[in-house]
Structure 1
Amino acid sequence: MIPFTHLHVHSQYSILDGAASIKGLVGKAKKDGMTALALTDHGMMFGIKEFWDTCKKEGIKPILGCETYVASRTVADKSDKVDRSGDHLILLAKNRIGYVNLIKLISVAATDGFYYKPRIDKDLLKKHSEGLIVSSSCLGGEVPQHIMNTTMEEAEETVKWFKSVFGEDYYLELQRHKSEMPELNEQVYKYQVMVNERVLELAKKFDVKVICTNDVHFTNKEDADAHDLLICLNTGKDFDDPNRMRYTKQEWFKTQAEMNELFADVPEALRNTQDIVDKVEEFELNSSPIMPPFPIPEEFGTMEAYLEQFDEAAITEEFGENSVKRNGGYEKTVRVKLESDYLEHLTYDGAYVRYGNPLPHDVKERIDFELDTIKTMGFPGYFLIVQDFIAAARNMGVLVGPGRGSAAGAAVSYCVGITNIDPIKYDLLFERFLNPDRISMPDVDIDFDDDGRQMVLDWVTEKYGQDKVAHICTFGTMATKLAIRDVARVMKLPLPDADRLAKLVPEAPKMSFEKAYKESPELAAERDSDNPLVRDTLKYAGTLEGSVRQTGVHACGILISRDPLTDHIPIMPTKEEHLYTTQYDGRFVEAIGLLKMDFLGLKTLSIIKECLENIRLSKGIEVDIDSVPMDDEKTFELFSRGDTTAIFQFESPGMKKHLRNLKPNRFEDLVAMNALYRPGPMEYIPDYIERKHGRRKVEYDHPMMEKYLSDTHGITVFQEQVMLLSRHLGGFTRGDSDSLRKAMGKKLIAMMDKLKVKFVEGCKANPDFVEGCKQIGKENEIEKLVNKIWKDWEAFASYAFNKSHSVCYADIAYRTGYLKAHYPAEFMAANMSRNLSNIADITKLMEESKRMGINVLGPDVNESFLKFTVNKKGDVRFGMAAIKGVGAGAVSNIIETRKNGPFTDIFDFAERVNLQAVNKKNIEGLASAGAFDSFGLKRSQFFAGADENDAPFMEKLIKYGHQIQAESQNAMQSLFGEVMSAQAVKKPDIPNVPEFANLVMLEKEKSLIGIYLSAHPLDEYKLEFENFVSREFTLKNLNSNIDALKGREITFAGMVTEAFETVGKTGKPYSKLTLTDYEDSYTIFFFGKDYVEYGKYCKPNIFILVKGLVQESFRGGLEFRVKYIEMLEEVRKNQVKTVTVDVAIQAITPELVQNMESMSKQHKGTALLKFNLWDTETKTVVNLFSRNTRIEMNREIETFFRQQENLSFKIN
């Protein structure tokens, strides 16, 4: 058998066209005894690094390539008919130079050359030809296209061109895909036979070698149908569509034996694949860090001066041979020294500000250790770059977070302003960030306010160059549920069945079909379903699981390169941005040596920034949020009350409950709670609270442990505590302690066993530990005690948390709490401004404001700004930008105009604003949202005329404003015309009409603002909600937690906001309605008898009460089944049987008795009226009722009862 290598191979990174995983392809190549394998995905290089890594791991030579599209003219030509696609061409990298040229070509194709497809052209090919092997590709290649569609002469010219450019590295390609099924694409094979014959002629005539390939698109023969489904997803066709695009089902990864059989008559085509394999050199993709040079001020030092001052021997002595080698030699290490010395200069300058001068001994020792480690590891430039753009951010007014994650453990970061957390004060560890025993790139995550993040990115791009900065690509894959839904849609599996299957997949991270079948017996049973569509859906979904569906952009990852990115990595455009995006995802970019930073936009920082601006506007003071006292009593009182709605990381109901019990009075309590309030350690919270308040004794296994556990009352909460204790007790080095953290976190048993031996021996050899054992009477049980400590740590590993992260988050939480405690209205306004697009959050924030005694007022042209602000009375005002149809331009003009004084009335408004910027649509929105209410006008008056034939007041008002402004302009041009002009224009009359009906007015508000602002349509049904709706239940529960309601009969009420009636596929009518209450909406369907009985309620803007049962659906899962519906306005009349009034005897006055008697006579009805009279002094209660006094519990009498201060009432 002739050795064969696949050189034309598509993986899942040929998006929605390739169905083969890289792992599967490489695994099959190895199993078949292949020594090499190529990857040639369509147009892009998405999978190349993963492919290279996988091949290296499996001992296969990776051949890196791409099936490109070559434009028929140039990449600059983009005419629909001529340039829409390009000729296929296989490019393979022969060596490192070829790989870089391939990157250059593919990057240009994705950026400048993209037109429906990523395209290159022959000029680019020629420019970047060095180190590339080229093959003529499939039937879509230029040579086959000429053979099939033009002339042999043109095919010959093409061969001659490629031969002239690539010489012996140009190959002609043969393929044979003979369909075994008549319904498949048989034309392909017919063309292939004809093309192959001509290709062999061309090869002989021009002395070009031929290779055979199989255009691999899936791994195994049996995967053909799954691949077919993938093509359906790509083209939007159904699986049973006879006119859809079809492959031949021959495109599987054939074995060497299968390819030998297929091309037995052309043995040289098999042999020549090995010729290419032999040509391809092995080269490295991974690299040591490629740090961008940081510009150091010349007055501090230059490379020239340092090279002159420090010879190679001096540098080797200072750094050590290994560090010099790792840095890339003498000159690069001199650069590291220059950067290290400058970093030391900046660090000590900052340290004197942070800690004072002279520095405490422990601080200096810590800083020197960190600086030495950073220098030895070769990373001073990293710190200089980060501090540089953070300083730039602050100078631009961008709010920067205090730090995030392990970076806060570096004192150097604190001193140079990268972080704002003192790691020495909080026992945060540098080796969590940089472990001197394990060389790896530092990883600093930086939080900026949302708006500022882009400003910083722009600054970085400007400084380092657009060709050196990029976003990082992500890939959206077919997760288990999505694969089921996608395949079900193409297979035409009914939607209810698809939903049922998807819902059987457990909700858990990193879910797969393998895990799902183990955890969900119901799903596993469906593989043997009687329904073949269900069986096939699960079968094919399982094959396609993990397929790449689309590309995306990493939310925060940014690369900064020393060189143009395309020297190292392929790039592509970023949608609607000037920055590029890498074609390799975040798992691989760092291994290539590129510097990755995480630039995060943190909403909470935006809220803080907004709040500080609100304070400045409303109170005229500047608050420095970084300088607020960290022991503020008012702030801790807020946390102790659990008043933490809108407080970062502390606003969940469970957290609020624990805070009320904990009553935190120091920052460390918030740090601990942030770490403990998560699955696992949450069970320790009651114990922590009891110990804090002295209700439970704080005990330590060993006296030495108190040093690092006292802050958390003897409970181990943080990974850092274990790391410090392992040093303190067992003599671990900094590197050992970090290895322990890693081993515990990742459950590395072998490493844990090795470290345990070291820890036991270290404790036994520690005189202080032995002495401590004597103090507690355990001098004869030392090893037993050490084993107990270790065992506790092993249990702790499952929930241990990064203390650096907790401190950073608690810091942000404390500062937001400080703002809420001291500037509540400004804080709530800032939160609302930053949640403008989320109506549910706005509603929640308004409720919180009301609870805090803060009024939230609608928009007003005299008080509102663009966003939510605080007026002089301390009320929160809606921003005018919250009104749909009122743009920023109109709002800016209104704000600018009123700087010359508030608007006195609606006419003054029309006279002064620029009616080009503030147009009719804007004014309509302002009127309907109530922004003119303060002028004493009804909203309806803007839309009414004097009579039905008259123009609306709105139009006359705008016309009046235009006339006044025109006359004023004319008056400015005429010395004598000003007074006459002003008097000549008559103000239009304001029509005398009633206000809109309440529901109409509220619906207008909601359509413009997104919420009911003045009131809620359901407010008038307060009695019904209080007495006839399931109290612990809302529509939100039905949507989010229906499982907890199984078997329960529930009652809810609301307004019908949507209604729909139609005929189903069976020809039978059905209807549905969407019911909305104060919090959420729920849709109910009516079929069969239910449609007949309840269809009449499918009308928008009616109010209904619904009773029903949560039960099993015949399709599986749970559903809400309606049992009864009633108009809400009928409920009190039909269901109020008894009204019981509770009143204190001391509160009864003749006036109250008279009013009660009068109301009873005026509102006679069927509900029995009872009284509970209670004595506030003796606490006795007397129950009274009258057989004759029956009332109608209408809204008038309800209002009367609610208005009485010393009276309450109950229904039934």
Structure 2
Amino acid sequence: MYLNAHSQYSLRYGTMPVPRLIEEAMARGVTQMVLTDINNSTGAMEFIRECREKGMKGICGIEYRRDKKLLYIGIARNKEGMRELNEFLTHHNLNSLELLDQAADFANAYTIYPYGYRGKLRKNKYIGIRADELHFLFNADINLLRNKLVVLQPVFVCDKLEYRLHEYLRGIDLNLVLTMVTKEDKCARTDCFLPPGELESRFSKYAFILDNTRALMDSCSMNEYNSGRVNLNRKTFTGSKKDDRELLEKLAMGGVEYRYGKSNKEALKKVKHELKVIFELDFCAYFLITWDIIRYASSRGYYHVGRGSGANSTVAYCLRITDVDPIELDLYFERFLNAQRTSPPDFDLDFSWDEREDVQDYIFKRYGAAHTALLGTMSTFKDRSVIREIGKVMGLPKAEIDGFTDPTRATANRDNPTFKKITAIYQMMQNMPNQRSIHAGGVLISEEPITYYTALDLPPKGMPTVQWDMYEAEKIGFDKYDILSQRGIGHIKEAVRLVEENLGKKVDVHQVRKFMKDPLLNNKLKIGDTIGCFYIESPAMRQLLTKLNCDSYLVLVAASSIIRPGVASSGMMPAYIRYHHDPSKVVYLHPVMEEMLGETYGVMVYQEDVIKICIHFAGMDGTDADILRRGMSGKYRSKKEFDRLVERFFEEARKLGRPDETITEVWRQVSSFAGYSFSKAHSASFAVESYQSLFLKTYFPREFMVAVLNNYGGFYSRWLYVHELKKAGANVHLPCVNNSLATVSIVNEDAYLGFVGVHGLENRFMDLIPEERISHGAYISAEDLIKRTGIGIEQVVILIRVGALRFTGKSKKELLWEVHLMMGQKPKPSNNAELFQIEKKNYAMPVLINTDLENAYHELELLGFPLSMSMFDLLKTVYRGQVRVSNLKQHIGKMVKMVGLYVCEKTVHTKNNKKMWFGTFLDADGNFFDTTHFANSTPAYPFRGHGCYLIAGVVVEDFGFPSIEVKKFAKLEILPNPVMD
């Protein structure tokens, strides 16, 4: 009799997750029930699946509300009905339309209006009446409604405790204190499951209403939805599976010749093996659609990086989906696709941040709006900020809430009764769905209209988005295509354009094999000169590259993996570095370990290493090896299946004559590593892009650094990339209205900062100023600029202060006087005729100059860094330290003093939960050095933001990389702002 049950997916309203909603219903003898979450169908497929498993009949629908008002409830009779309900909601969501008072006339779905509805009740339309509304039927003529009345007993909460939770959820949703949450804002206290038989008892005098309700529910069936996972993605690319197979084979074989030449038997054999698996598992369309996406992007001149587990596929390499060669790197196809894999494989396709949206738009247009959608995500109540929200709902003052969210006061708060109450509510809310959002890049392409499975939202991204996340998509049967964006590709694309524009040279950045053999590039890797280069510019990565003397692609691939937190914290990173410098110290457990892990000195660095050992040491096949790897990462289908494979590992190894002690130790290493291992295909993909960036940085450093600046930088602050641009030999100029564009521009060796980096300047003027200049010529004065652009006084003052009008030859102070006289005072109109014409007085202006220090302060304020002076020149002291980076190695083990310009810092927690810090600085020569700050020597947090610091510490060396263990540390004062004196 429950036509109107709600789960937690009725966000900030319902309190029960889908499985518990079903359990609570079954505990009260309910055999069939309708899930009708508010304005969404997020939980519909999960509800059907869970009901089947529990032996209950699940029916789906949607409750439609406008603001807080219940308009009507839609209940699907079948799969087609669910599509109608989803499409009705989707139409309103995608077109930003308010729901109307009346629903559409659904052919395969019922509409239930609340009691009091006065419209016409056509076919499939009913009125729901609550038990507390039955008195309205007393002495009323209900003959016309007799066949249209059904039981309406909403379910939102489980019990009184959850009703209180519901009130808090409503307060958070409406941003109101509890006392301000009205009756209309929340459900009734009785909106829950009733004891067995009670609902029927309440309607006993109106048995026909019960009969109508049963008949309605009995007529509904969700059996058309598949039980168990099936592939719901688009089934063919060409329209025919036969043609798909032939096309994929043709493309793959053509790709073998392109990638490997005409007579590479190993490549041919591997491709044929992969094609056989792809055909058997019905993944032709998946490969061809991915190839089609890349083909479109390439036709537009877009760059891409293909990574993810798909980079393990030689077919993908031959189709140019990825530039990673699985044969060269000994990658296992089974890591990507095998007969036993229960979760869908995927390709991660990275595009430049400003090109991804066009690629997504192509996918929507090529495969149809009805069959294409972005993947959603579901954020949950799991952040400590929820405590702040609960405190606000309770009406607590801000100071008290701040105290409850301060981790340093955890002990003091423990016995506070208010805090105990907040914690109890927080624990109930923890991990509850909070709001729907959008996945980083997942796209779904379905065979059937996607509205059979979900309604669609239109988030700020502006593209239709499903109402469930990737985990639910996987369970339903959808394989996503990851269309991602990153700044690194933007750097490469922009740099290539600038090289052609500025130097007249065409650059092919896809000659990666050639780059990998270039000694100049490899030398930059070796010394860590990688600022601006994708994935290898962070302090930790530059340190690692230096410690490894990294001078090859394979070592870079390994570095890209061992830098990951899991491998680094396990002790495998120092072991790898140690063995890299002295391979003679490696002790292999078994000859197979030497054969399979010789490249990484017996250290397991990649996920693929787990598969290798399982295959070659334990004699397992590739499919079982990958399942075992996934199981050790917590991704097994069942514990029983996982235990069987563990047992098989030992059994098969014994059959090969491996000693028991060795098997046990190998298993220990494999099982302890697999949980945090990183895919070699991922590392290899990153390394390819790193080499592309490094090539541009090496041969076209100025254009490359301008490209980095124009694509929102990277790991570091903007000023550091300007510093690197100067080091590359560019004459870097302040913004100028007669030379600058919105972004940084470069002509020969002259680089002009753009207007984008000027704080306070409005976006429209960033574009308008250069557009007007390009269209109608250079500006000749401040007045000319003002007249042609219509710029206001506040904005023109910003331009003057940043130096953008220096072409006039006038000082900033003169220009400020000029524009204030021009714009700041408007004479009052006068109707009186002048009797005498008074001669105008011409006042002589005093000499107004700006000092370098004043200019530096203007730049600090408006750019975030001084360009005309260095931060060292701004210091009160002329002291620059005892040593510089150039002679740091001569002082190993000694106490030194250095002056460093702060670049960045990183906070970490030690094993005993104490804080320590790592810092990165520039010396007065502009060279990098790194510091370590231990908790015992720097108990107070030492960093005070951007500026120069006096650093006293001991010089230490680790595999040739020097750094400072800090003992004393203080920020140095700069000269005062003369304007403030």
Secondary structure of 1:625's aligned partner: coil
Q: Which residue, 270, 294, 300 being the options, matches 1:396? A: 300
Are residue 144 (structure 1) and residue 116 (structure 2) matched? yes
Instruction: Find the partner of 2:788 among 891, 916, 924.
Output: 916
| The structure with more radius of gyration | 1
CA distance in 1, matches of 2:976, 2:286: 72
* Alignment match of 1:448 (pick from 351, 360, 363): 351
- 1:1172-1187 to structure 2, matched below 5 A, reads none
Q: Which moved more, 1:1002-1011 or 1:420-429?
A: 1002-1011
Distance 1:1025 1:491, change over 3 A: farther
Equivalence for 1:797:
674
> Is the 8 Å Cα contact of residues 856 and 866 (structure 2) preserved in structure 1?
yes
Deviation per CA, 1:286-329: give whole Å up to 9, x if none: 46334447664xxxxxx7xxxxxxxxxxxxxxxxxxxxxxxxxx
Aligned-partner Cα distance in 2 for 1:408–1:483: 40
Partner of 1:75: none
Paired residue type of 2:579: R
TM-score, with normalisation over the residues of structure 2?
0.82
CA contact (8 A) 1:559 1:597 kept: yes
- Partner Cα separation in structure 1 for residue 872 and residue 198 of structure 2: 73
Determine which structure has the larger helix proportion and give its number: 1
Q: 2:511 pairs with 627, 648, 664, which one?
A: 627
Q: What residue is the counterpart of 2:130 in the other structure?
A: 174
CA contact under 8 A between 2:352 and 2:489: conserved in structure 1?
yes
1:835-854 correspondence to structure 2 within 5 Å: 835=712, 841-849=717-725
Unaligned runs of 5+ in 1: 71-83, 146-154, 177-191, 297-302, 304-334, 506-519, 771-780, 956-987, 1055-1075, 1081-1123, 1132-1212
Aligned residue number for residue 816 of structure 2: 943
Matched, 1:351 2:224: no
Equivalent of residue 609 in structure 2, options 705, 715, 721: 721
CA contact (8 A) 1:444 1:597 kept: yes
Tell me the SS of whatever aligns to 1:472: strand
- Residue in 1 aligned with 2:176? 237
Amino acid at match of 2:218: D
After superposition, the Cα gap between the structure-2 partners of 1:410 and 1:247, relative to the gap in structure 1 and judged at 3 Å, is: closer
Report the CA distance between 1:652 and its aligned residue.
Answer: 3.0
- SS of the equivalent of 2:51 reads helix
Q: Provide the rounded CA distance (Å) in 2 between the counterparts of 1:655 and 1:441.
A: 32
- Counterparts in 2 of 1:890 and 1:1031: CA distance versus 1, 3 Å: closer
Following superposition, the deviation at residue 602 of structure 1 comes to: 1.2
Higher relative CO (Cα under 8 Å, sequence separation at least 6) belongs to: 2
For residues 535 and 548 of structure 2, what CA distance do their matches in structure 1 show? 16
Q: How do 1:956-1105 residues align onto structure 2 when only pairs under 5 Å count? A: 993-996=847-850, 1001-1002=855-856, 1004-1006=858-860, 1008-1015=862-869, 1020-1023=874-877, 1077-1078=946-947
Q: Secondary structure at the match of 1:41?
A: strand
Paired position in structure 2 for 1:461: 364
- C-alpha separation between the residues in 1 aligned to 2:291 and 2:943? 57
Instruction: Tell me if structure 1 keeps the 8 A contact 2:170–2:181.
Output: no
Q: How does 1:499-578 map to 2 (within 5 A)?
A: 499-504=402-407, 522=410, 526=413, 529-531=415-417, 533-575=418-460, 577=462
The SS at the match of 2:773 is: helix
Matching residue of 1:739? 627
Supply the RMSD in Å over aligned alpha carbons: 4.0
Q: Which residue of 2 aligns with 1:608?
A: 492
In structure 2, the residue matched to 1:1095 is: none
One-letter code aligned to 1:174 = R
SS at match of 2:123: helix
- 1:833 and 1:207 map into 2 onto residues whose CA distance is 70
Alpha-carbon distance change, 1038 to 466 in structure 1, aligned in 2, over 3 angstroms:
closer
**In the aligned structure 1, how far is the partner of 2:907 from the partner of 2:127?**
61
**Structure 1 residues 783 and 246, CA gap change in structure 2 (3 angstroms):** closer
Q: Which residue in the other structure is 1:1137 paired with?
A: none
Aligned to 2:221: 281
Q: Percent identity?
A: 25
**Is 2:349 aligned against 1:407?**
no
- Aligned partner letter, 1:653: P
Task: Encode CA deviations 1:492-514: one digit per residue, 9 max, x unaligned.
Answer: 22334323433449xxxxxxxxx
Q: Distance in 2 between matches of 1:1024 and 1:203?
A: 96
Residues 1082-1161 of structure 1: pairs in structure 2 closer than 5 A: none
- Aligned match of 1:661: 547
CA gap of 1:242–1:170, structure 2 versus 1, over 3 A, is closer
Structure 1 residue 653: Cα displacement: 2.5
In 2: Cα distance, 1:502 partner to 1:740 partner: 42
State whether structure 2 residue 196 is matched by structure 1 residue 256. yes
Are residues 242 and 742 of structure 1, via their aligned partners in 2, closer, same or farther at CA, if it must alter by over 3 Å?
closer
CA distance in 2: counterparts of 1:640 and 1:856, whole angstroms: 28
**Residues 1:702 and 2:590 are matched in the alignment:** yes
Shift of 1:487: 0.8
| SS of equivalent to 1:626 | coil
Change in CA separation of 1:605 and 1:196 when aligned onto 2, cut-off 3 Å: farther
CA distance in 2, matches of 1:134, 1:989: 83
Between Structure 1 and Structure 2, how many residues are aligned?
Answer: 891
Q: Distance in 2 between matches of 1:486 and 1:934?
A: 53
| Equivalent position of 1:481 in the other structure | 384
Give CA-to-partner distance per residue, 1:796-855, whole Å, 9 cap, x none: 22332211111111221222222223322222222211227x997202323445566665
| SS of match in other structure, 2:717 | helix
Q: Identify if the C-alpha distance between structure 1 residues 223 and 1130 changes in structure 2 by more than 3 Å, giving closer, same or farther.
A: same
CA deviations 1:751-780 (Å, max 9, x no partner) are 4543344344434544xxx6xxxxxxxxxx
Is 1:133–2:110 an aligned residue pair?
Answer: yes
Amino acid across the alignment from 2:327: I
Alpha-carbon displacement from aligned partner over 1:852-908 (angstroms, at most 9, x marks no partner):
6665432235553332233423x543123433233213223434667xxxx6xx638
CA separation of 1:254 and 1:718: change in aligned 2, threshold 3 A: same
1:866 to 733, 736, 742: 742
Equivalent in the alignment of 1:372: 276
- The Cα of 1:554 is off from its aligned counterpart by 1.7
Gaps (5+ residues) in structure 2? 827-841, 882-896, 917-934, 950-969
Query: 2:41–2:62: 8 Å Cα contact kept in structure 1?
Result: yes
Shift of 1:669: 0.6
**What's the offset of the Cα at 1:663?**
0.3
User: Contact 2:147 / 2:212 at 8 angstroms: preserved in 1?
Assistant: no
Counterparts of 1:55 and 1:605 in 2: how far apart (Å)?
Answer: 46
Cα distance between partner residues in 1 of 2:870 and 2:603: 49
Within 1, Cα distance between the matches of 2:50 and 2:402? 36
Q: Check the 8 A contact 1:1035/1:1052 in 2, yes or no.
A: no
Counterpart-to-counterpart distance in 2, 1:1036 and 1:356 = 47
Distance in 1, matches of 2:808 and 2:901, equals 42
Distance 1:378 1:536 in 2: 54
Picking from 733, 744, 747, the partner of 1:857 is 733
Inter-partner Cα distance in structure 2 for 1:225 and 1:893: 61
- Give me the whole-angstrom Cα distance separating, in 2, the residues matched to 1:713 and 1:365: 29
Work out whether residues 874 and 975 of structure 2, in 8 Å CA contact, stay in contact via their aligned partners in 1.
Answer: no
Once the two structures are TM-superposed, the CA of residue 1130 in structure 1 deviates from its matched residue by 10
User: By how many angstroms is 1:67 displaced?
Assistant: 1.7
Q: How far apart in 2 are the matches of 1:293 and 1:1048?
A: 62
C-alpha distance in 2, partners of 1:1016/1:841?
15
Q: What code does the residue aligned with 1:133 have? A: Y
